[in-house]
């Protein structure tokens, strides 16, 4: 299997493929977030009438999913490859399948299926219909047609593809432990690069993070967001919503948010995201 793509070549291959299809190739957003969807290139750009095509890698932080580097399949931080095409083209499925061929998955040798999976993000006030794409029973991509973002109708509709890069790479390389992935072809593994990060981040997120300061950070993000909304600055406002969302995720990992409070916090973040989206649409109009 040494002919298979390394982790970094997988990314480069996708960049080239989607770049050739008119996507701007962006760099990761320089903020902590739970999913590639949170990137303003997806959330804000999916609103309003203007066409848009972008592809980028987004590091995702999910503090509660951390396992101190001990679980071969779970990580507290990982990478998503995100593609957004607006309006969604008629051949979106074919374009997507073309990308799978490009990274070495032969659909006559593997079982590719589109299995119903409707997507919803309560913190973004967003939802869409689509599938999880299975390759031999493994979910490798989330495929969604956005219907609403920030509580606003998406017109035209954005098609979103989210590849789970580690899973896809594990699949292509035939590896059972994420830390054994070949990161490049010069002998560096995923574990060499990130295992220590996983250990330390898990310890920080579950045991160390100062919850008083986190609650304070949440309040600050809310205040900053509101300030930006008042000043009609949708992008900085939205960035503060991203920040509040990540602080909330860390508080959850620390186990200090009860089930009853959880909904209230999600609602708070959603209100911020909605206000930022509303300001974005107003400014564009």
Partner 1 sequence: MADFLLELLSEEIPARMQANARNELARLFAECTGEAGLKTGAIDVYSTPRRLALIARDVAEGTEAAREELKGPRISAPPQALEGFLRKTGLTKDQLEERDGVYFATIERARRLAGEILANTIRRLVADFPWPKSMRWGSGGLRWVRPLHGIVALLGEGIVPVDIDGVISGATTVGHRFHHPGDITVGGASDYVEKLRACHVIVDQEERERIIREGAEATATEFGLTLLADEGLVVENAGLTEWPVPLIGSFEAEFLDVPREVIVLTMRTNQKYFACANDEGLLAPVFVCVANVAATDDGEAIVEGNRRVLSARLADARFFWEQDVKVPLEEQAKKLSGIVFHEKLGTVAHKIERVAKLARWLVEQGIVKADANQVERAARLAKADLVTGMVGEFPELQGVIGGYLAAAQGEPMAVADAIRDHYKPIGQGDEVPVAPVTVAVALADKMDSLVGFFQFGEKPTGSKDPFALRRAALGILSLIIENQIRVSMRDLITAAAHEGGANAGREVAGFFIERLKIQQREAGVSHDLIDAVVAVETGGDNVRMVRRVQALKDFVETGDGADLLTAYKRAANILKKEKWTGGVLSSPEEQGIPQTGEEDPLVLVDDPIVGEAVAEMASGQSGADLLEEKALISALDAAEPKASAAVEAEDFMAAMAALASLRTPIDEFFNRVTVNDPDPAKRERRLNLLMRFRDSVNRVADFSRIEG
CB of 138 vs partner 1, minimal distance in Å: 4
Classify residue 84 by burial, with Cβ atoms within 10 Å: 0-12, 13-18, 19+: buried
- Within 115-174, the residues that bind partner 1 by CB under 8 A are 115-116, 118, 128-131, 135-138, 145, 147, 155-157, 159, 171
Q: Which long-range CB contacts under 8 A does 194-200 form with residues at least 24 apart?
A: 194/75, 194/77, 195/69, 196/69, 197/77, 198/66, 198/67, 198/68, 198/69, 198/75, 198/76, 198/77, 199/68, 199/69
- Within 43-82, the residues that bind partner 1 by CB under 8 A are 71-73
Q: Find, among 5, 101, 15, 100, the residue nearest to 56 by Cα.
A: 15
Question: Of all residues in the chain, what percent are helix, strand and coil, respectively (each to 5)?
Answer: 45, 20, 30
For partner 1, the closer of residues 59 and 156 by Cβ is 156
For partner 1, the closer of residues 141 and 245 by Cβ is 141
CB of 159 vs partner 1, minimal distance in Å: 8
Size of the site for partner 1 (CB under 8 A): 37
For partner 1, the closer of residues 176 and 207 by Cβ is 176
Q: Find, among 96, 176, 91, 106, the residue nearest to 131 by Cα.
A: 96
Is the Cβ–Cβ distance between 41 and 162 less than 8 Å? Answer: no
4 binds partner 1 (CB under 8 A): no
CB of 216 vs partner 1, minimal distance in Å: 27
Please select the residue that binds partner 1; options are 90, 186, 212, 285, rule is CB under 8 A.
Answer: 90
For partner 1, the closer of residues 30 and 94 by Cβ is 94
Q: Find, among 203, 192, 256, 244, the residue nearest to 63 by Cα.
A: 203
Tally of CB atoms within 10 A around 206: 18
Kindly indicate which of the ranges 5-13, 112-120, 198-206, 249-257 contains the residues binding partner 1, using the contact rule CB under 8 A. 112-120
CB of 130 vs partner 1, minimal distance in Å: 8
111 binds partner 1 (CB under 8 A): yes
Kindly indicate which of the ranges 5-13, 107-115, 221-229, 275-283 contains the residues binding partner 1, using the contact rule CB under 8 A. 107-115
CB of 98 vs partner 1, minimal distance in Å: 11
113 binds partner 1 (CB under 8 A): yes
Residues that bind partner 1 (CB under 8 A): 71-73, 87-90, 93, 97, 106-116, 118, 128-131, 135-138, 145, 147, 155-157, 159, 171, 176
């Amino acid at each position: 299997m040494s002919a298979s793509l390394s982790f970094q070549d997988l990314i480069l291959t996708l960049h080239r493929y989607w770049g050739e299809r008119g996507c701007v190739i962006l760099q990761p957003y320089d903020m902590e977030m739970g999913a590639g969807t949170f990137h303003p290139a997806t959330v804000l750009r999916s609103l309003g009438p203007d066409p848009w095509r972008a592809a980028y890698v987004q590091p995702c932080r999910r503090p509660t999913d951390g396992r101190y580097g001990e679980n071969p399949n779970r990580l507290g931080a990982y990478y998503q490859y995100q593609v957004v095409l607006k309006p969604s083209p008629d051949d979106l499925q074919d374009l997507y399948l073309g990308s799978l061929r490009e990274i070495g998955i032969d659909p006559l040798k593997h079982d590719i299926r589109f299995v119903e999976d409707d997507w919803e993000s309560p913190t973004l006030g967003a939802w869409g219909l689509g599938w999880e794409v299975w390759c031999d029973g493994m979910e490798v991509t989330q495929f969604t047609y956005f219907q609403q973002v920030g509580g606003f109708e998406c017109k035209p509709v954005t098609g979103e593809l989210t590849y789970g890069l580690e899973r896809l790479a594990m699949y292509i390389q035939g590896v059972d432990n994420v830390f054994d992935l070949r990161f490049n072809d010069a002998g560096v593994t995923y574990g060499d690069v990130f295992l220590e990060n996983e250990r330390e981040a898990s310890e920080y997120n579950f045991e160390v993070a100062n919850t008083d300061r986190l609650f304070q950070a949440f309040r600050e993000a809310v205040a900053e967001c509101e300030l930006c909304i008042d000043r009609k600055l949708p992008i900085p406002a939205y960035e503060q919503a991203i920040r509040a969302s990540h602080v909330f995720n860390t508080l959850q990992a620390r186990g200090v948010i009860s089930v009853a409070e959880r909904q209230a916090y999600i609602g708070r973040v959603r209100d911020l995201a909605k206000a930022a989206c509303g300001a974005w649409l107003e400014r564009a109009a």
